[in-house]
Structures are given as structure tokens and as C-alpha cells.
Amino acid sequence: MLLPTKGIAPRRALLTVGAAVIGLLDSPTTVSGLWERFSQATSQTNTNDKITFDWFAMALTMLFALNVVSYDSAGQLERRHVPA
């Protein structure tokens, strides 16, 4: 699931989806706001692999586990800067 396999295309791997999500998180937003940004960005690509909300949520959970995103004091998602 995290990486592409025989059954999971590279564009559906959670690391790929997470990278797209973190790229869209340029300003603090809610989960639903980020989902709207993501679904608009992916609808412009011409692929048959639609990313559903549950797959988006798993990618977001992975980003929380990696400590890449967090909630700010207003309850919105924000990108964290993780030291190398």
C-alpha cells in the first residue's frame, strides 16, 4: 500500500498520494478543504485511477504518522518542517 506493487499502480501508492497532498498544503486548511483541492487537482489529470476519500484519508494518516502534518491552534491542517 505504501509503495507500488503488482496490484497497486505507482500513482495510487500512498507515498505518491501523500506527496500530492503535501504539495497542495501550502496554507493551513481543513481536511475537507484539502480534499477539495486534491480532488480538483486530480480531476485535471486524464487517468482511470480515481482516488477516493478513504484512500486520501489513509494517505493523510500516513502523513500524520510521519509527523509531516499537524493541526494548528485553529484546528486546521498545516505542513510541518521536519529536520533532516
CATH assignment of the domain containing 28: 1.10.10
4 within domain boundaries: no
Q: Give pLDDT, residue 1.
A: 67
- In order of 7, 11, 43, 84, the CA distances from 62 in angstroms are 20, 16, 22, 18
The model's pTM is 0.85
Q: How far apart are CA 81 and CA 84, in angstroms?
A: 9
53 within domain boundaries: yes
Q: Give pLDDT, residue 49.
A: 72
Q: Give pLDDT, residue 50.
A: 85
pLDDT profile of the chain (84 residues), mean per 10 = 78 92 95 95 76 95 94 92 75
Count: domains in the chain: 1
55 within domain boundaries: yes
17 within domain boundaries: yes
Q: Give pLDDT, residue 25.
A: 95
65 within domain boundaries: yes
**Which residues span the domain enclosing 31?**
10-79
Q: Give pLDDT, residue 46.
A: 62
3 within domain boundaries: no
Q: Give pLDDT, residue 47.
A: 65
